[in-house]
């Protein structure tokens, strides 16, 4: 267990746990840094060694000083010869996210100075913020391998003088290689819907006008608040259940990045719920010719 996997694991986001699942398939004996080991292991339906993330804020720093068990968990980083930041949008979003991952990388370099560090399948948002650019450089400092999941991320790193290999989303690559899932009759003829923001009444009316059987699938507990009143809401508790639902369904009208990725990778018809909320979604949709949902007319042909 000389390899450590790092990502946004344990936050109950299905997309991040799928990234973990795909990486553990490649490195099955790796140790996983997760904020919630019980959730990560239950979602993946397997046991693996875990450690807690290092302190990146005031409260976690106080805990590090006062809690010997937490401190011992973090110090296990010292035993690792290889560290893999396993994909996802770690260097995206608000300033807080950049700070967290820059500080996490700092702890890794401090505690395991001789470890080989890889950043795989990373999404990097375009930014004009000088501080964010500095934090990206600091986070990737000394990395042996840097890969991005799309050309926009690769170009953003190139603009700040960092050369990165072009790859793909870690979960997408893994999903595309899986054998076909068995179809569950419960989900057949069901149109799945996912949203990261509330769905307007007019948009929801267009959706219910096209299908009688609709299920809102939450890829994060936060998605549930965006489900319209009266619709069935499902939040899969493990990876097998999530993939079975998505593989069996008639299609996906989705918004969250990994909702789109999963449906497309499982070869289900998929449409964007509305205009992409982030560059990663727009880039993936353009790359795979995924169109926006425009009512009944858009469902006549597979995108």
* Boundary (domain end) residue, out of 142, 176, 210: 176
Characterise 161 by phi-psi region: left (phi > 0), alpha (psi -120 to 50), beta (else): left
- Judged against a pLDDT cut of 90, whether residue 297 lies above it is answered with no
* Boundary (domain end) residue, out of 176, 208, 238: 176
Taking only the tens place, the pLDDT of each residue in 147-192 is 999 999 999 999 999 999 999 889 999 998 999 888 999 999 999 9
Burial 53-70 (b: 16+ CB within 10 A, else e): bbbbeeebeebbeeeeeb
Taking only the tens place, the pLDDT of each residue in 12-27 is 999 999 999 999 999 9
**Percentage of residues in the chain with pLDDT exceeding 70?**
97
One domain for residues 49 and 154: yes
What pTM was computed for the model? Answer: 0.92
Say how far apart CA 104 and CA 57 lie, in whole Å: 11
Q: In which domain, by residue range, is 276 found?
A: 185-299
pLDDT band for position 32 (cuts 50, 70, 90)? very high
The CATH number given to whatever domain includes residue 139 is: 3.40.50.2000
* Boundary (domain end) residue, out of 155, 176, 197: 176
HSE-CB of 293 using CA atoms within 13 angstroms: 30
pLDDT band for position 295 (cuts 50, 70, 90)? low
**pLDDT of 183:** 92
Is the dihedral angle over the CA atoms 179, 220, 293, 88 positive or is it negative? negative
- Judged against a pLDDT cut of 80, whether residue 217 lies above it is answered with yes
Taking only the tens place, the pLDDT of each residue in 64-106 is 999 999 999 999 999 999 999 998 889 888 999 999 999 999 9
DSSP track, 118-187: EEEEEEE-----HHHHHHHHHHHTT-SEEEESSHHHHHHHHHTT---EE---HHHHHHHTSPPPPPPGGG
């Amino acid at each position: 267990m000389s390899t450590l996997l790092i990502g946004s694991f344990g936050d109950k986001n299905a997309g991040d746990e799928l990234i973990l699942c795909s990486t553990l398939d490649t490195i099955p004996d790796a140790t996983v840094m997760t904020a919630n080991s019980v959730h990560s292991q239950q979602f993946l339906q397997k046991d693996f060694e875990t450690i807690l993330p290092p302190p990146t804020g005031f409260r976690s720093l106080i805990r590090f000083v006062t809690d010997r068990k937490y401190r011992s968990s973090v110090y296990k980083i010292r035993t690792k010869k290889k560290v893999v930041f396993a994909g996802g949008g770690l260097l995206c979003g608000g300033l807080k996210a950049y700070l967290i991952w820059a500080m996490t990388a700092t702890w890794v370099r401090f505690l395991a100075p001789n470890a080989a560090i890889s950043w795989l399948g990373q999404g990097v948002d375009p930014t004009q913020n000088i501080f964010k650019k500095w934090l990206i450089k600091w986070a990737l400092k000394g990395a042996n391998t840097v890969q991005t999941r799309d050309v926009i991320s690769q170009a953003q790193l190139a603009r700040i003088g960092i050369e990165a290999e072009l790859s793909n989303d870690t979960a997408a690559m893994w999903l595309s290689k899986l054998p076909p899932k068995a179809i569950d009759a419960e989900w057949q003829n069901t149109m799945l819907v996912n949203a990261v923001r509330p769905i307007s009444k007019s948009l929801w009316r267009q959706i219910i006008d096209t299908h009688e059987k609709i299920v809102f699938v939450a890829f994060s507990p936060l998605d549930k608040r965006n489900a319209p009143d009266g619709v069935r809401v499902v939040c899969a508790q493990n990876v097998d259940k999530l993939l079975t639902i998505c593989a069996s369904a008639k299609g996906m009208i989705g918004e969250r990045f990994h909702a789109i990725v999963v449906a497309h990778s499982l070869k289900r018809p998929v449409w964007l719920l509305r205009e992409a909320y982030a560059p990663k979604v727009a880039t993936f949709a353009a790359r795979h010719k995924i169109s926006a949902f425009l009512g009944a007319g858009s469902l006549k042909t597979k995108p």
